[in-house]
Chains A and B, each alone.
Chain A
Amino acid sequence: MRKVYTFIIMMGFWILLSGKFDLFHLTLGVISSALVSFMSADLFMHETKGPGKLSVGIRFLLYLPWLLYQIGLSTLHVTFLALHPKMKDQIDPTIVTFKTKLKTDLAKVALANSITLTPGTITIRIVDQVFYVHAISRKAAAGLPGEMEDRLANVFERD
């Protein structure tokens, strides 16, 4: 089943990149997509449990606009800090650790990337369930796990 999904995605990508719809190019696309999906489907996606995958995808798409809003806030924050004349009075970097309640790997990756893209914080590393986060000011460090963890738990681990 993984091979079929890989074949569909690869074929869509081929059509998107080539942009030609005659028989010759489509045949080449089918041959190369079949070869790639036969050889390396297990690299592209892991074996997953069947039901509920589509709803997770839809809920993740609904999560994206909030993430874009956070990215906008974060970039404005960095811009304000970088152009501030007395920048060294404004920042106060610390490294904080906290323990998350998310279980699956995919949810932890999404949380790490979201932390990196929100104002003032960058994920340094994840050891099991403990996150090491570098925060650029005390105010950013105070509100850390915050709203985002609840939203991601709602996205990925709702039964």
Chain B
Amino acid sequence: MDIIVILLSVSGLVLFFATTVGLLRFPDFYSRMHAAGKGDTLSSLIMLLALVFYNFHEMNLANLLVAIKILLIGVFIFMASPTATHAIIDAGYESGIQPWTKKPEEES
């Protein structure tokens, strides 16, 4: 059981690290939104799943309630993260941020 918890936590942490690196390295606002909106969702779900497995070591009512509440946070993040991403990127598009594109060869 501990093996599963360690495996899930470490993989979630690696995905979080990739999200952060992408957030720092991508060239413009829209591409950074790709990293922030997608990496966070799956890595949060994986970490919460690992915590559910760790906290559900024996079967009784309190543990069941805790597990359901952690899964509720997961469901909420799953719904809220694309919506927040969409709201932020719509605000950026409305404010007129120009997307970064590859420069054609003749201009440079």
Chain A residues proximal to chain B, CB less than 8 Å: 16-17, 19, 71-72, 74-75, 78-79, 81-83, 87-88, 91-95, 112-113, 116-117, 120, 122-125, 132, 134, 136
Chain B residues near A122: list those with CB within 8 A.
30, 33-34, 37, 85-86, 89
**Per-residue contact bits, chain B 7-23, to A (CB 8 Å; 1 contact, 0 not):** 00000001100110110
CB distance from A25 to the nearest CB of B (A): 14
Besides A78-B38, A116-B85, 13 other CB < 8 A contacts?
Answer: A16-B69, A17-B69, A19-B61, A19-B65, A75-B38, A87-B25, A93-B30, A93-B99, A93-B101, A94-B99, A112-B86, A113-B82, A134-B99
Could you tell me which residues of chain B, from 30 to 54, have a CB within 8 Å of some CB in chain A? 30-31, 33-35, 37-39, 41-43
B62 & A19 in contact (Cβ 8 Å cutoff): yes
B89 & A74 in contact (Cβ 8 Å cutoff): no
Could you tell me which residues of chain B, from 59 to 103, have a CB within 8 Å of some CB in chain A? 61-62, 65, 68-69, 72, 82-83, 85-86, 89-90, 93, 99-102
A78 & B65 in contact (Cβ 8 Å cutoff): no
Given contacts A92-B102, A122-B30, contact A78 B90 (CB under 8 A): no
A120 & B99 in contact (Cβ 8 Å cutoff): no
Q: Is the interface of A mostly helix, strand, loop or mixed?
A: helix
CB distance from A78 to the nearest CB of B (A): 5
B34 & A16 in contact (Cβ 8 Å cutoff): no
Q: Is the interface of B mostly helix, strand, loop or mixed?
A: helix
How long is the Cα–Cα vector from A87 to B26 in the complex, in angstroms? 8
Chain B residues near A124: list those with CB within 8 A.
86, 89-90, 93
How long is the Cα–Cα vector from A122 to B82 in the complex, in angstroms? 9
B27 & A78 in contact (Cβ 8 Å cutoff): no
CB distance from B86 to the nearest CB of A (A): 6
B85 & A81 in contact (Cβ 8 Å cutoff): no
CB distance from A62 to the nearest CB of B (A): 17
Chain A residues near B19: list those with CB within 8 A.
78, 82
Instruction: List 29 A–B pairs whose Cβ atoms lie within 8 Å, in order of A's numbering.
Output: A16-B69, A19-B61, A19-B62, A74-B38, A75-B15, A75-B41, A75-B43, A78-B22, A81-B22, A82-B18, A82-B26, A93-B30, A93-B31, A93-B100, A94-B99, A112-B82, A113-B82, A113-B83, A116-B82, A116-B85, A116-B86, A117-B38, A123-B86, A124-B93, A125-B90, A125-B93, A134-B30, A136-B31, A136-B34
